[in-house]
Amino acid sequence: NDRYGVNVCGEGGEYETFTLDCPLFIKSIV
């Protein structure tokens, strides 16, 4: 949380999503 500023528990009632790979991407991010 401190390193990336993302709370996996849903800070403030919102959830963050980070997609690393999907069919729409030309190449994967990681």
CB neighbour burial string for 4-23, b if at least 16 within 10 angstroms, e if fewer: eeeeeeeeeeeeeeeeeeee
Q: What is the pLDDT of residue 12?
A: 65
User: Which range of residues forms the domain containing residue 30?
Assistant: 1-30
Question: Where would I find the H helices in the chain?
Answer: none
Reported pTM: 0.30
Per the structure, the count of domains in the chain is: 1
Task: Please check whether residue 28 is in contact with residue 21, taking contact to mean a CB–CB distance below 8 angstroms.
Answer: yes
Tens of pLDDT, residue by residue over 1-25, are 678 777 777 666 677 678 888 888 8
